[in-house]
Each structure stands twice: as structure tokens, then as C-alpha cells.
Amino acid sequence: MSEPIRRIAMWSGPRNLSTAMMRAFSSRPDCAVSDEPFYAAYLAATGIIHPMNEAVLASQPQDPQRVAADMLGPVPGGKPVWYQKHMAHHMIEGFPRDWMDGVTNVFLLRRPERVLASYAQKREDVTLRDIGFAEQADLFDRVADRLGHAPPVIEAEDVRRDPRQALTALCTAIGLNFTDAMLGWPKGQHPDDGVWAPHWYGAIFNTTGFAPPEETAPDLPGHLLAIAEEARPFYERMAAHKG
């Protein structure tokens, strides 16, 4: 009898170590990965203009119902594990969420001030919605209500401080065996990266593993500090459930 397929939906906001986490799972020989599959649907539905907008829209299905069905469909490459990197703010009102009941949902956090310091380097205009904390907390509550307990929560800083320990704990929580392959990856672009990778992923192209934790707090201008304070209650509510 074949083992059941494990579908892992990792929910985060942008600039949350999400691409490095995708790299870690893509290094597993048993794991397929998908990069932000609702991105084009989100842009099409909202009319928001992002860097490389037309390329993103052309690269993925724009129908959220189709994307949702795909997340429960055949796994790319026939692998037994499927890691799906999702941005919480892509799940706007009206997008299907019932498909989430068929996957293992995990929530990846990073402190709001560090998210904003990184995001502002790539896109000047930023709002609370762009960094997804409120939407992530809403999805967290949905999953927790269905399960009757908090889903797995992992902190980017903890991963960077001790990748082996953090990833071992995460794998245990989601029913996988940890493998040392998750601690490193080849430099450069990955074939499963979204078409937007050249704009957003430049730093990770030069890595072969997780960077050490940041020692100094970012110095944010006042308007970004205000957004960080708006995001903090959502962050803290989820962070209270870190494994």
C-alpha cells in the first residue's frame, strides 16, 4: 500500500523567510514545491499592480477556484510530499478556503518590523494589507477552530538561529522525518520559482543555506513603525503558539 500524500500549506506574509523555507523543502528528494499559486488570481481580482505584473498574470491560472482545485489535485512529479508556499494576503474575500481542510496548514512568522524593513527595499508603497498579518491571523483562526487546537507555528528567527532544531521540530509536528538535505541548496534560481523571482529573490540566489539571525533591530521611518504597531497584535497572537 502506498503512503498517503502529504500536502503542506505554509502560510506567511512576504519577506518572511518563505523562499528559504521553500528551498529547504525543495531539497528533499521526496518533495515537490509550488510558489505562491494564488498570486496571479490575487492580482487579477484586486487590480493591484506589483512589480513584473503582466508576467505574473500570464504565468498562472487567474481563476481562484481552479487554483484551489489544483492544490488538492495530482502532486507535481508524483512526489509523496507537496510543499505549497502561500501568501496569506492572497486569500481575499470570495476566494475558496474549503480546500484548506485537505492540507496540513502551517504558519510562518517574522517580526513585523523586520518584514517591513525588507519589504520596503523592494516596493516603496506598503500598507498593513500588503504584509498580510491580519489575513494570516484570520486563516490561523479558521484552521484552529476546525482542528480544535492551534496549528503548527514557526518563527523565521528561530529557523535562522538553529535550522536543524527548528526544522526537526516542524517535521515532527507535520508527520515527516527530518533530513539533512533540508539544511542546504544550490545557489541560483530554482526551476519552481515564480516568474517574479528575479525581482524579489535576488538575495537568496546567492545563498546555499539559512543565514544567521539578525542581531540589530531595523531603524524604520515613522510611517513604517506605525504599520508595525498595527501588525503586532496579530503577530503576537499567533506567536504565542510557537512550538
Asked if the 6-239 domain carries CATH number 1.10.3470, the reply is: no
pLDDT at 1: 39
Kindly indicate the confidence band of residue 3, based on its pLDDT and cuts at 50, 70 and 90: low
pLDDT at 219: 78
pLDDT of 124 > 90? The answer is: no
pLDDT of 54 > 50? The answer is: yes
pLDDT of 123 > 90? The answer is: no
pLDDT of 186 > 60? The answer is: yes
The pTM for the full model equals 0.95
8, 103 in Cβ contact below 8 A? yes
pLDDT of 109 > 90? The answer is: yes
pLDDT at 221: 77
pLDDT of 215 > 80? The answer is: no
The arithmetic mean of pLDDT across residues 99-120, rounded, is 93
- Written as one letter, the residue type at 180 is D
Domain extents in the chain: 6-239
User: In terms of DSSP bridges, do strands 6-12 and 31-35 run parallel, antiparallel, or are they unpaired?
Assistant: unpaired
Q: Is 201 helix (H, G, I), strand (E, B) or coil?
A: coil
> How would you list the strands of the sheet with 6-12, edge to edge?
31-35, 81-87, 6-12, 104-109, 153-155
pLDDT at 2: 54
The arithmetic mean of pLDDT across residues 60-79, rounded, is 97
| Range from 27-41, 152-166, 206-220 carrying the lowest mean pLDDT | 206-220
The residue to which cell 513603525 is assigned? 225
The arithmetic mean of pLDDT across residues 210-221, rounded, is 82
21-38 pLDDT, tens digit each: 999 999 999 999 999 999
pLDDT of 150 > 70? The answer is: yes
Residues 6+ apart with CB under 8 A from 83: 8, 10, 22, 25, 26, 31, 32, 33, 34
Query: Can you tell me the distance from the alpha carbon of 173 to that of 182, in angstroms, rounded to the nearest whole number?
Result: 16
The residue to which cell 522525518 is assigned? 177
86, 60 in Cβ contact below 8 A? no
155, 109 in Cβ contact below 8 A? yes
